Structure 1
Amino acid sequence: MLPTPSTSHVPYTLVYEPAEDSFLLLDTLSSPTSLTFHTSHFPPSSPTPLVLEIGPGSGVVLAFLTAHANHIFSRPDILTLGIDINSFACASTAKTVSLASQDHPTTSGEFLSAVQGDLTSCLRGRQVDVLVFNPPYVPTEDLPALPERLREKKEGKVTFEEESKLLELSYAGGKDGMETTDRVIDNLGDVLSERGVAYLLLCAGNKPEAVKQRIREMDNAGEGRRWKAETVGTSGRQAGWEKLQIVRIWRE
């Protein structure tokens, strides 16, 4: 089993703490079936893959992928990048990845940065080879907004209300818990490279079977390649439903 990166330095009043969903991603991304998929999809002779995590939070998943790149992708020349709307999460991710890479210098890929941004809006099109997204998936009445002062990066101590808003951003997903996730799904064709693959975490309330079917029916701009979506990791069943699952998405 590959060691989990330390996140003891992360301010959990401002940044989402690693939980069951985080660890399910670690287990899924490092599983033998994922290793086989990655090795065939990104052979050593192919160009260097770019790995993006949207909303890395503490950075535990991105640090895991970076530090253990040679184990997970069968090659160490991996570039990793994080994008988070929470600037405190960006700072935490950068430190988590740095510490993990120092602990595993012979297997580690190259970390580019953790930048503050809204999902993938700051990226050039079709550059991402591996996209990982543990979204705000809890069904809620509304989507929270980033506090204005933090959005404008103004100085000053973060208030309790602002702390609560930052944490709410990490889990509140709006209708069916899918409002943020839908934005990413709708944009996959413009974000992923030709060989790109996405790993998306869903909960039972997100109606995952309907989500997967919707992805399979997405238009691929006349390229003649169909989208595939399959569950590759689960946290077990509760009342007959898979509580959490990881869906792999790619083009045939």
Structure 2
Amino acid sequence: MLPTPSTSHVCFDRVYEPAEDSFLLLDTLSTSSEIAFLHNRFAQANSKQSTPPLILEVGVGSGVVLAFVAGNTSRIFGRNDILTLGTDINRFACQAASETVRKAIKDHDPSLFLDVVNADLASTIRANSVDVFIFNPPYVPAELPDLSRHDSFNVLSVGQKSTSFEQDSYLLELSYAGGEDGMAVTNRMLEQLPYILNPERGVAYLLLCAQNKPEEVKQRIRDWGTGWVAETVGVSGKKAGWEKLHIVRIWRNSMA
């Protein structure tokens, strides 16, 4: 079992704390079946795949998932020349996640950690550049936060050394509130996904809950066109109800 990165330095008053969804991603990425899939897709011995892969996590939160990937590249991908990058709309999460990743790779022969960028989803990412995409979205069916407050709540107020309760509540809402069916943010990300993935070897891991209607989401992805595949590769949570979680792998089948 691969070690879980430490997040003891993170203030969970304003940054999403790793929970069942985070750990399901870690478990899924380290299963023998996913390791075999990723080795086959990215192994350095394959001359066609010699370019270092770029791994992007959108919505890094505490950074536990990106740090896990960055600190275990040899085991997960069969190579160490991996580039890791994250984004989050919460500036405090970006700072926390950067520290989480740096701690995780400190004593390893690691991937190259690029940065965690304060951004809305993948809006800052170059087209066709992402080889492995990871997204644990705000999936709870709850009203979306009021983004008109974002600029003022995303930084410390002048003269203040800590955030307010109202500010913390808003920042945490960003991490879990997903709008109608919990899909408002995920739908926006799915619109970007075909354009940021590497067209030859890109693969994405998306977390959904039962109320997100994962079977419908998978079919929608398959309807993007010839070659698109979407399959559930990890399941956790309750056996009934919206809290049951799914990890969906999305990729293009070059043989299609």
Q: Under a length normalisation based on structure 1, what TM-score does the superposition of the two structures give?
A: 0.93
Q: Please say if residues 57 and 90 of structure 1, whose CA atoms lie closer than 8 Å, have aligned partners that are also in contact.
A: yes
Structure 1 CA distance for aligned equivalents of residues 13 and 86 of structure 2: 20
**CA displacement 1:134-180 (0-9 Å, x = unmatched):** 00000113344253313477543421101000001000000110000
Q: In the alignment, which of 123, 126, 129 is matched to residue 124 of structure 1?
A: 126
| Pair 1:77-2:81 in alignment | yes
Q: In the alignment, which of 114, 124, 136 is matched to residue 116 of structure 2?
A: 114
Shift of 1:63: 0.3
Q: In the alignment, which of 51, 54, 58 is matched to residue 50 of structure 1?
A: 54
AA in 1 matched with 2:175: S
1:149 aligns with 152
AA in 2 matched with 1:181: T
Question: 1:117-196 alignment to 2 at 5 Å?
Answer: 117-145=119-147, 147-151=150-154, 155=158, 156=160, 157-194=162-199, 195-196=201-202
AA in 2 matched with 1:149: S
Question: 1:26-65 alignment to 2 at 5 Å?
Answer: 26-44=26-44, 45=47, 46=49, 47-65=51-69
Shift of 1:189: 1.3
Q: Please say if residues 143 and 173 of structure 1, whose CA atoms lie closer than 8 Å, have aligned partners that are also in contact.
A: no
Matched residue SS, 2:125? coil
Structure 1 residues 144 and 136, CA gap change in structure 2 (3 angstroms): farther
1:208 aligns with 214
Question: Which structure has greater strand proportion?
Answer: 1
* Gap runs ≥5 in structure 1: 220-224
Structure 1 residues 175 and 6, CA gap change in structure 2 (3 angstroms): same
Structure 2 CA distance for aligned equivalents of residues 35 and 152 of structure 1: 39
Structure 1 residues 127 and 161, CA gap change in structure 2 (3 angstroms): same
Structure 1 CA distance for aligned equivalents of residues 156 and 52 of structure 2: 34
CA RMSD of aligned residues (A): 1.6
Q: Please say if residues 210 and 241 of structure 2, whose CA atoms lie closer than 8 Å, have aligned partners that are also in contact.
A: no
Structure 1 residues 248 and 82, CA gap change in structure 2 (3 angstroms): same
Structure 1 residues 141 and 74, CA gap change in structure 2 (3 angstroms): same
Shift of 1:210: 0.6
Aligned residues: 245
Structure 1 residues 112 and 42, CA gap change in structure 2 (3 angstroms): same
Shift of 1:238: 1.9
Structure 2 CA distance for aligned equivalents of residues 122 and 36 of structure 1: 31
Q: In the alignment, which of 184, 198, 204 is matched to residue 204 of structure 2?
A: 198
Structure 1 residues 241 and 140, CA gap change in structure 2 (3 angstroms): closer
Structure 1 CA distance for aligned equivalents of residues 242 and 140 of structure 2: 15
**CA displacement 1:15-67 (0-9 Å, x = unmatched):** 00000000000000111111111111112031110000001100000000000
1:250 aligns with 251
